Amino acid sequence: MGSTTGSDPLIGEPIGSHVQAVDWLMSFADFERGSGPRRAKGDFALDRIRSILRRLGNPQHGRTTIHVAGSKGKGSTAAMLESILRAAGFRTGLFTSPHLHDFAERIRILGEPLSEQEFARLAEQIRHVIEAELADDAGHISTFEILTALSFHAFHAHDVDVQIVEVGLGGRLDSTNVFSSTDAAVITSLSYEHTDILGDKITQIAAEKAGIISAGCRSVILAPQRYREATDVVLNAADDVPVPLVNVGEAYESEPAGVEPWGQWFRLRRLQPRPGEQPQAMHLLPLLGRHQIDNALTAIATIDALVASGSVAVPSEALHKGLATVRWPARLESFELPEALAANDPGGPPRVVLDGAHNAESIQRALDACREYFPHRQLHVVFGVLGDKALLDMARLIQSRSVHVYTTTSNHPRARSPQQVADAFDDSEWKGALSAHADPQLALEAAGQLAQASDLILVLGSLSLAADARRLLSDPPEAAVARRAEDPTV
């Protein structure tokens, strides 16, 4: 990505702590948080990241590589793939974006984020390379380019066997699209997003995502799609190379098979099983929502393709365990509202569900999932969005299901004010109540005072809001995740 930074990078200052590493990263252009001017198509190119990686000795090469692009579900799918391959005994590296609480979460070795000390140490190692790059070519470098280089440097330093790399934006000109070959290029569900950069037609968006397909791919995995024209674009891109493609929607079927406190069961059917593959299987998935079953099918199809090509060996037990123990917080994640934030209802405090849904389609999925997986009498919604989102469309969906909306803002520089969010709701068409609150704690307190034990509080609108709310809940985030990560099938 090319970029223009809004402040001078911290050149020449050694990095000795995690705080210093984050300060250094944030001194470059961070488009996710709005540092620098608005991105345009001309801001994206691969010359800079390729030059940085050459200076590092091209650490992106030399291991089994899975590259994941898409509009929705790419992070969840990548997390499932990492969990399965780790369960099969591989040393795994996972690069995703954005983070929930801290930058180090984006780079995971064997499922765990880099420690603060390691993050700082590796950042100091590549700082010299970044400064040498700027000295030779005094252009602009983005935070995401540096994080991409840092992830590959970390994977090389930790000698991982398999790297699962999630695209940041688009695919064709994304900073992660720097491989001479990949063992699997995965395209998850495609929808309208970042239309100012990727194009305002679904075919244009699909073409940008399909840009990760090249002659160096051993296989392409296409997740179930909503738009037939998007499917056609990806099919044609694979045919043009040509590269073998697995159309998950045609080769696999699934059926929900029950919900338990630790997740949902689903039945898998392979419609075109290869020799040695089970035609049918039952799997447990701790991530809720029908869309997560589609993501699991895509992950399974990717593993099947990797096994068939000889890239990896994954026994069925590892497939089961990897799916059953995957961790991906703030995606329909459930907590009990702390007593300090709740009214004294004899029935106890209501449940709170956090979800990072941030566009109309993902909002719809979250609302549907709450109806299916979290039975409740009335729905209370804590809602806040970032500045570039289709707020009116999201508001219409939310007011069709909720009795009270508590608008708020997150700790993100592009977050809209609570009043701006509240103004999107149409009082003339809605019988519910609306209130604006300065921060997520006040919004949760207000919801806790009105919601009864049989009600549900849903927090959604952005991953940054989900992260802010998550810090307020009684269970420490990592403790809650660790409990759920135990394999209940053993």
The pLDDT score that the predictor gives to residue 34 is: 59
Beta-carbon contacts of residue 444 (< 8 Å; ≥ 6 apart): 337, 341, 352, 382, 406, 457, 459, 469, 472
pLDDT greater at residue 43 or residue 393: 393
Calpha distance 366→467 (Å, rounded)? 16
pTM of the predicted model over 0.85: yes
Calpha distance 64→162 (Å, rounded)? 5
Helix or strand (DSSP H, E) at 430? none
409-429 pLDDT, tens digit per residue, is: 998 888 999 999 999 998 777
Residue 463: pLDDT band by 50, 70, 90 thresholds? very high
pLDDT exceeds 60 at position 297: yes
pLDDT exceeds 50 at position 485: no
Q: What are the CA-CA distances from residue 343 to residues 109, 302, 381, 446, 450 (Å)?
A: 42, 47, 17, 9, 7
Instruction: For residue 391, give the amino acid letter.
Output: L
pLDDT exceeds 50 at position 480: no
Percent helix, strand, coil in the chain (nearest 5)?
40, 20, 40
Average pLDDT, integer, range 248-268 = 95
Please work out, in degrees rounded to the nearest 5, the angle formed at the alpha carbon of residue 326 by the alpha carbons of 324 and 330: 125
Instruction: For residue 97, give the amino acid letter.
Output: S
Calpha distance 262→285 (Å, rounded)? 8
The DSSP letter of residue 65 is E
The pLDDT score that the predictor gives to residue 472 is: 92
Start-to-end CA distance of the chain, whole Å, equals 45
Average pLDDT, integer, range 126-146 = 91
Judge whether 178 and 144 are in contact, CB under 8 Å: no
Q: Give residue for tokens 């694979």.
A: 238
- DSSP class per residue in 445-473: HHHHHH--TTSEEEEES-HHHHHHHHTTS
Residue 43: pLDDT band by 50, 70, 90 thresholds? low
Average pLDDT, integer, range 95-113 = 96
The pLDDT score that the predictor gives to residue 344 is: 73
Sheet of strand 92-95, all strands in order from the earlier edge strand to the far edge: 112-113, 107-109, 92-95, 162-166, 64-69, 184-187, 220-222, 245-247
Helices (H) and strands (E) in the chain, counts: 17, 17
Helices 440-450, 463-470: axis angle to 10 degrees equals 70
The pLDDT score that the predictor gives to residue 13 is: 79
Average pLDDT, integer, range 469-476 = 77
Looking at the chain, the whole-number percentage of residues with pLDDT higher than 90 is: 79
49-91 pLDDT, tens digit per residue, is: 999 999 999 999 999 999 999 999 999 999 999 999 999 999 9
The pLDDT score that the predictor gives to residue 245 is: 98
Q: Which residues lie across from 17 on neighbouring strands?
A: none
The pLDDT score that the predictor gives to residue 3 is: 38
A 10 A CB-CB count for 458 gives: 29
190-222 pLDDT, tens digit per residue, is: 988 776 778 879 999 999 999 999 999 999 999
Beta-carbon contacts of residue 60 (< 8 Å; ≥ 6 apart): 53, 152, 163, 178, 179
Token pair of 465 as six digits: 């809001």
- DSSP class per residue in 221-271: EE---S-HHHHHHHHHHHHHTT--EEEHHHHEEEEEEEEETTEEEEEEEES
Residue 403: pLDDT band by 50, 70, 90 thresholds? very high
353-369 pLDDT, tens digit per residue, is: 999 998 888 999 999 99
Q: Give residue for tokens 């700027």.
A: 134
Please tell me the least confidently modeled range out of 7-11, 310-314, 367-371, 450-454. Answer: 7-11
Calpha distance 92→86 (Å, rounded)? 6
Q: Kindly report the average pLDDT of the chain as a whole number.
A: 90
pLDDT exceeds 60 at position 235: yes
pLDDT greater at residue 40 or residue 302: 302
pLDDT exceeds 50 at position 5: no
The pLDDT score that the predictor gives to residue 8 is: 65
Please tell me the least confidently modeled range out of 40-49, 227-236, 321-330, 469-478. Answer: 469-478
Please tell me the least confidently modeled range out of 110-119, 171-180, 381-390. Answer: 381-390
pLDDT exceeds 60 at position 484: no
